[in-house]
Every structure is written in structure tokens, then in C-alpha cells.
Chain A
Amino acid sequence: MSSESFIFEGGPHRHELLTELIEDLGGWIVQKKILAQEITITFIVPEADIPLIREKSLQLRGSLREQPLLGTEIAVIAPTIARHHLPHLLCDIAEYLRRLGAKTNMIGLARGVGQRIAQISTHEKNIIEEHDVAVFVFGNFEYCLKEHKWKLYKDLAIPVVVTAGPDLPSIPYTEHYIGNIGRLPYRFRLLDEFDKLQQIGNAVSQCARKIRGFLERDPIFLSPFAIREEIERQIPEIKRVLSPTPIVPQIRGLRIKLPFSGFHEKIAKVQIGDYLLEEIADIKKSNFRDYTLVKFLQRSQIKTKKEII
């Protein structure tokens, strides 16, 4: 059954009623923060039980916002990191996706500029494919976009959302195209500009929902959030990592910010129920620095792997 993510903001008085309801429904509390008279609870519940949650949050006089991108890692990609492309547009898009619950990484390609000279290396492709969805931010000319820029994203194995200047319904090799956002020299401050950002958010969340839909038929062993908690419990060294998110949840994986060389054996031996982590997932070296990348196997794949062992 598919699930939906929300963020609850309200007073802490009797918030246990909500947390208990979430647990009873088989949902998952990702984060709970109490700051003076304010509480923020980020959680996931099954789609069928959303009316119950809404009723409860009305009783508690709190607000409920959807977080369609919670538990996803998204790459926001510019042709290069020169001032022609950064910072205005790319930062706006990345920040808006963060508000929808995603973890975003901003990536500048080395040689993504121009028409004939635009290219992407295998290493860059590997880095982008570690994410769930890629958002490409291109320039203003229709000719460049249609004739030349497709070679940057044609071969990617993940869904691609492209934003650029010309107002077109769609362009080849992409899941979604959002026009009227090109290379612009200012920050987005007006409400109709925010609508464009919301369009990008909707497109990305549709992609995420599609991936989750595919996974429903042959699901992964356990929610990435559950496995994240288990890893935090069994590997105490993770507390010494200084990054704001030491373990980044993805739709079908985790990025653990511990060096692969020192920790991959320890991570492989984490106990998840009757299984070890290496039995239900592939543990790889990430292309980002020396991080560890865990990609979960689907149920059918777990079976075959156990038989081989």
C-alpha cells in the first residue's frame, strides 16, 4: 500500500495522541522536535488512513502540510558552476524542493555548456544516478535545447525533469518539461514565480510517486527510515559524523556518510530482523567522496541471493 508523508506543526499539548495514532496505523515517525511551545512532527502514514490523521490534527488545532518528497535525494544540475548559471535559479529550485521534504544536492557539470561542445562524463553520470530524480536547469534558446542538450541526460537511468526558457509542451527523453524558467539574472520573489517552482515540485513528486508505484509490486525489505534507525543504533560511530544528515534516506537506498574503506564490513553485518544488511542490500562505494551507498534489493532478488549463498 502506498503511503503519504506529512509535517505536523502545532502545540505539544496532547501530541501523544497523534504519535500513538500514527504508530497504530503502521506509519513511521521520521522526526519529532519540541521547541518551547511548538512541536514539529514529520511522519509517514498509509494513504488510506489520511482522513483519520487530518481529523486528529484538527482536534489538536495544529496544521498539516504535505511533504511529497520526504525520503528522496534529488540532484539539481547546472551546465557549469559559473555565475552564468548560478546562484539565483539553481538555489531557488533546490531550496523549494527542500521545503517539500527532499534532500537536494546541487551539481555543476564540468563541460555542460555550449552546443557541439556540451558533454557529460561517465563519472558524472554515476554520481547523478545515485540520486532518485535529476532536475536539469538549462538556458533560454529553443534550438540549443532541442538539438544539442539532450546528450547530457539521454542515457541516465533515473527519471529526468528539465527546466528551461522556451514554452514547449514536452521535449524528448524526459519525464517532465517545465518552460518559462531560463537563465534569468534575479531571484524569484513574486507569487507567479513561486507557482513555477511549485510546478517543478509537482513534477518531481510525480516521478517519485512513479518509482514508489513500481516498488509496490515487488517491495524492498523494510522502509529506509527503519533501516536508518537500526544502523544508527548498531553503529555508534555515526554520531561522530559532523554532516547535518549523517544518513540520507533515498527511495530505495541509503547514503551513509562513513568512509567505505573503514566501515563497509561493519555496515554489512548490521542485523535487520533475521537478516544481515548485506543479504537484503548491495553495499557499494559512493562516487561522492568516500561515502558508503546502500541499495536495497527487492523481495524477489533477496530470495535468489540467499539461495546462492
Chain B
Amino acid sequence: MSESSPGWVTQSISALNGMFGDYLLRRGNGLAIGMAFYVDNQPLQLSSQAISHAYPQAGNKICVFVHGLACSENIWMWHEAKDHAGKKTDVDISYGSLLQAELGYTPFYLRYNSGLPIAKNGSDLSSLLTALLANYPCVVDEIVLIGHSMGGLVLRAACNQTSAPSPSWLEKVTRVFYLGTPHTGADLEKLVHATARTLHAVPNPITRLIGDILDTRSQGVKDLRRGAPLADDRISSVVWLPNAQHYFLMGTITEDPAHPASRLLGDALVRVPRESAATNAVYDASHSRVFAGTHHLALAHDREVYAQIKAWCCSP
């Protein structure tokens, strides 16, 4: 019999990790999340036996889902009413379960401490994928990576491992999907950063205290200011994985993407970027789509978004 936290506890802990995850880890706090793939709210042990037990029908194509800041893998799930023996019942659905049923991908859902530096999470994810492939019950031919918000930056960091030799999983990656990922930085974090600096500049103990409180936000949050995750400041830009195709899915808060509110706020947290700035020369209009009226969190569990992911997964 295994023990697991109720959903609201998982959500609260993920939110805490997003805001103060580096502090929790530094203090050795039991609330700090260790990176792992999760199945049914339980961490997956990366042994052949455990993987075979959790995934009895593991196939040679896998897809990896990486959630965003302060979220957990539950962000990918939604309920749908299904007819079952003449009765309508609610079933849990996700992009992963649909990709498995329709295209044969075995889904792996990552949970991690989103308050840690993005580059660190990327490096840990790379190690985790290496361990997964080493213990996977069959040979993996193809890996699809899907990241929501900060998750997309974590994927870019994972794909940007500079150590030699490069991890073996990298050459298997065929497609990377970025859902509402702030490649050029998140405006909200830029605003908080500017506010904290201003408050510190005012020679008043109260404003300085408020500035100090703002500065307690995690390094993961602070990294969102710049967007592209750099482990080493000497590297001028994060290279896009050359053997994979990159897809950009973004949302807007209004039905009309040209509406001033959508231009200003994007999907409420991330703005639709300008082509060249967003994608650092890998931009291809046919690999990008804006979902009008779909807000930031909804990008991770939306039928229309899934249909587009599926269509791109089927394309050559």
C-alpha cells in the first residue's frame, strides 16, 4: 500500500516550490520537491522492473511532459464526460494519454522543483532522461518533448548540455513543443525585478523591507526575466537542438489576437513574441500557432492545442 498526498497538497507544495524552492532545498526542508517522473501521484523509480510495472505497454516512442512554474504534472490533466456502457462518466484525459492511444507514444510526466535555476533543472532532466533510457524495457527510437511555460525553458536547458560526450538521448529527440514559453523573458518578472530595484533605491526602511520581501522569490522565478536559460554567463545564447523540429504554441486572452489587451498581455502571463526575437533564427511560420482566447494555463490542457500537437506529430 503506497501513501500519497491529496491533490490540493500537491498543488500547494508545487506552488511553494515555485516561489521559494531554492530556499527550501538549501534548508533541507521536507517540502522541497526532488525531480522525478510521476505516475499516479507517485515518483517513478528508474529501474527496469519499476518502469515495466508502471508501463506494461511501453513502446519505442516516448513523450516527456514538463510543467511550468509553480505547477505539477496535474496541469496536463482534464476531465471529459465519456459514454461508458450507456452511462456518462468523467474520465481523466491528457495530451499524454491521447498521444498514447492515438499515436503510440508512451507518456512520462515530470515533476520538479521549479524554484531552482532553470539551467540546473535542465541539467537534472538530462541526467534523468539518460537514466530512463538506460533502464527502459525496449529500445527508444523517438523522443518528443513538450514543455509548458517555464517547462519549455527547462527543455531548452536540457537540450543544451555542453558536457562531452553529449547525452545519448539527445539524438533521439525529433520534436520539441513549447506551449506559452517565455523565450525572450516574462514581462511580469521584469516588472517585479524593476520594482524591487526601485524600492531598494528609496532611502526608507519600509520600502527597503518590501524590496527585500520581493527579493525572496526563487532563482527559478528570477531566471524568467531573461528567458533563455544560461548555466554559464559566458555563453552568449542557448543553441537550439539542431536535429529536432521546434514548435511554438501561444495563447491570447481575447478572441482577437490583434486586440490591444492581447498585444499587451498575451495569454495573461506570456506575450506572443515577435518572430525573430522569439526563436533565434529557427522560426518557421508553419511551426507556430496562436490560440486566440486560450489563456496561459489552459494551453496545457486544451482539445484544440492537442489537435495541433497531434497534427504536427503526424507530419514528416
Q: Do A and B truly interact?
A: no
